[in-house]
Structure 1
Amino acid sequence: MTIKRYYQDAYMNVFQTEIQNQQQDENGAWYVVLEETAFYPTGGGQPHDTGTLHNRNVINVEEVNGEIRHYIEEPIEDISTVVEGRVNWDRRFDHMQQHAGQHILSAAFIEALSYETISFHLGKEILTIDLDVSNITETDALKAEALANQVIQEGRLIETKWITEAELSDYPLRKQPSVTGEIRLVLIPDFDYNGCGGTHPRSTSEVGAIKILDWEKHKGHIRLQFVCGNRVLKQLHQKHGLLKELTGMLQAPEESMVLTIERLQAKQKEQEKAIEELKEGLLIYEAEELLKEAKAHEGRTFIKASFVDRPIRELQKIAQHITSRRNETVVLLVVQNDEKLQFVAAKGSSPRVNLRTVAQNVFPLINGRGGGKESFVQGGGEALISKEELLESLTNQI
């Protein structure tokens, strides 16, 4: 039986009908199929409607094999009765604004720049269209946006019309419809002609406004983010609130906020540089203290130490400073960071020892790996032994 699709009159949000059948899908979710419906099923880049059906919440609407399934939270006891459906109007009207806005913006890009839209997605917060170009400038975006908002402000009629395939050539469509048989057109005369089964308002003025937010390259095309209608006001409210909060935190008026942030960033870089220099000084001091405690053995000076919760980069710098000061030194430093053991081994020019071989011999003890050269290696693995045991194993290899 053919389902009468009331949702093609976008303003119908309350209706009465009978149930064709009620059952569960393969996942156990309950759904009903109606004789007529005003609920829009997901499709054409537009999400489904929500609402209620016989006081059951409609949480999803999908078209499967020609039938429109209304998924409900719990089954209806008596399916022989006439049921009332109520579409969530706020969600429906939002989708009407967004979908019509997409038609208008896509047509504006063609009219102003000859940029074609190749895909569309209506998300919960923003919309996206993919433009068949590899690059776009801010001037391009503003030009299309201005034309789109001009069309909205002119309050042009948005018409819907059913035609046959034979009549398609009578209309300058943006792209050829993918459906056959009777085809539904959504028209803004002298501006946009498009095959579409989605919900739209009766006038461009009801779209309210369009604002492009951002764009990025995506698979060789440009993916453009934008909002329409009440979402523009929501974006403005959110961004104004954020801006107000930032002006308070920075103690700077809105018009000088960028300059204030640039100054803070420059000051932060100076402070980070100063801190880094102080850290370098502390590491050199630490290295010199370790040199004082060095012990000589068979013509070599051994320096060994273990640490907890330190970046291995600091151990590298300590080892490099020591070996640059004393050619006869061998430096073995171990650190435990959480459940990980790491080590650095370095030597000056005098000791005849291959530290790469030393490292390879101890890696099995910690399921570790690493790399380096004969005079300087680093590595790490699991804390299967203590840091002291790892340090002793490194010493024994030498």
Structure 2
Amino acid sequence: MTKELFRDDSYLKECTATVSAVQDNAIILDQTVFYPTGGGQPGDSGTFTLSDGRTITVANTVKDRDTGAHLHLVEEGTPLPNVGETITAQIDWDRRYTLMRMHTALHIMCSKVDGAVTGGSIGLEKSRLDFDLPEVPDKDELADAINAEITANKPVEVSAISDSELEANPDLIRTMSVKPPMGQGQVRTIRIAEVDYQPCGGTHVKSTGEIGPIRIGKIEKKGKLNRRINIHFAE
């Protein structure tokens, strides 16, 4: 299993790692700063610098469901490093930081909409959450409520809750279709002070002020009780 350095520090831009395995167009490391696709958040892209100075472009990162290893995907035909080789892994920081801001903004929106989450997706230009809602919320009121929490610059903290504590507090889980992974003893959580607290494995900013102002885009009807709310950066 790959050690996930980004879980404790989302601001790590690079790390030194050892190649544990290679398969097809994937490179597996003993540890990584690259976030794998999951929870609606895209996987990281970036570069590997090899011991001979050669640079490999990593197009995407996904997680092997069976082994827990992170598969750093490169273009077909790319010469791969040797197992045991030491490399420097560096993420595309501007892209990651944009996704961190978006992800945290969605947590704030989740706290302002009184409905269970039925789906979601995080993007660079637009992100969205789907809610189990009978009525469409007012776009301006929702945007004002979210932007107020952003302006307040509230701290965002990473912590953990035990499996048993989560089972005793099922209301912490806002998603209807996807439950956080359990069985390891603890589940990672994200807390935005006085705003939101829920299990989440994604990467986030340290304070809401880093997000910057947002606006609400389309609110789409995706079923009898399903409303899709799109969010954009205001700038």
Task: Report the TM-score when normalising by structure 2.
Answer: 0.86
Deviation at 1:102?
Answer: 0.4
Counterpart for residue 294 of structure 1: none
Equivalent residue in structure 2 for 1:67, among 66, 69, 72: 69
Counterpart for residue 41 of structure 1: 36
Give distance in 2, aligned partners of 1:75 and 1:195.
Answer: 39
Counterpart for residue 146 of structure 1: 144
User: 1:44-55 residue pairs with structure 2 within 5 A?
Assistant: 44-54=39-49, 55=55
Counterpart for residue 110 of structure 2: 106
Equivalent residue in structure 2 for 1:85, among 63, 84, 89: 89
Q: Does 1:216 align with 2:220?
A: yes
Residues 338-390 of structure 1: CA deviation (Å, up to 9, x unaligned): xxxxxxxxxxxxxxxxxxxxxxxxxxxxxxxxxxxxxxxxxxxxxxxxxxxxx
Q: Please identify which structure carries the higher helix content.
A: 1
User: 1:265-280 residue pairs with structure 2 within 5 A?
Assistant: none
Deviation at 1:119?
Answer: 1.3
User: 1:245-284 residue pairs with structure 2 within 5 A?
Assistant: none
Deviation at 1:171?
Answer: 9.0
Counterpart for residue 100 of structure 2: 96
Counterpart for residue 125 of structure 1: 125
User: Is the 1:173–1:192 Cα contact (8 Å) retained in structure 2?
Assistant: no
Residues 322-353 of structure 1: CA deviation (Å, up to 9, x unaligned): xxxxxxxxxxxxxxxxxxxxxxxxxxxxxxxx
SS where residue 144 of structure 1 aligns? helix
Counterpart for residue 52 of structure 2: none
SS where residue 125 of structure 1 aligns? coil
Q: Which amino acid aligns with 1:6?
A: L
Listed as ranges, the gaps of 5+ residues in structure 1 are 25-29, 234-398
Deviation at 1:225?
Answer: 1.4
Deviation at 1:147?
Answer: 1.3
Change (3 A) 1:67 1:77: closer
Equivalent residue in structure 1 for 2:181, among 179, 182, 190: 179
Superposition RMSD in Å? 1.8
Counterpart for residue 287 of structure 1: none
Counterpart for residue 306 of structure 1: none
Change (3 A) 1:154 1:174: farther
Counterpart for residue 159 of structure 2: 161
Count, aligned residues: 218
Q: Could you say which structure has the larger radius of gyration?
A: 1
User: Is the 1:41–1:61 Cα contact (8 Å) retained in structure 2?
Assistant: yes
Task: Report the TM-score when normalising by structure 1.
Answer: 0.52
User: Is the 1:172–1:193 Cα contact (8 Å) retained in structure 2?
Assistant: no
Q: Which amino acid aligns with 2:39?
A: G
Residues 149-179 of structure 1: CA deviation (Å, up to 9, x unaligned): 1111111110011221122247962437431
Identical-residue share of aligned pairs (%): 28
SS where residue 150 of structure 2 aligns? helix
User: Is the 1:158–1:187 Cα contact (8 Å) retained in structure 2?
Assistant: yes
Q: Which amino acid aligns with 1:68?
A: H
Deviation at 1:130?
Answer: 0.9
Deviation at 1:52?
Answer: 0.2
Deviation at 1:131?
Answer: 1.7
Counterpart for residue 379 of structure 1: none
User: Is the 1:13–1:89 Cα contact (8 Å) retained in structure 2?
Assistant: yes
User: Is the 1:134–1:217 Cα contact (8 Å) retained in structure 2?
Assistant: no
Give distance in 2, aligned partners of 1:172 and 1:189.
Answer: 18
The higher-RCO structure (CA 8 Å, 6+ apart) is: 2
Change (3 A) 1:14 1:115: same
Counterpart for residue 20 of structure 1: 20
User: Is the 1:108–1:145 Cα contact (8 Å) retained in structure 2?
Assistant: no
Deviation at 1:31?
Answer: 0.7
Deviation at 1:144?
Answer: 2.1
SS where residue 165 of structure 2 aligns? helix
User: 1:226-241 residue pairs with structure 2 within 5 A?
Assistant: 226-228=231-233, 232-233=234-235
User: Is the 1:174–1:193 Cα contact (8 Å) retained in structure 2?
Assistant: no
Listed as ranges, the gaps of 5+ residues in structure 2 are 50-54
Q: Which runs of 4+ in 1 moved over 6 A?
A: none
Give distance in 1, aligned partners of 2:22 and 2:116.
Answer: 43
Deviation at 1:124?
Answer: 4.3
SS where residue 212 of structure 1 aligns? strand
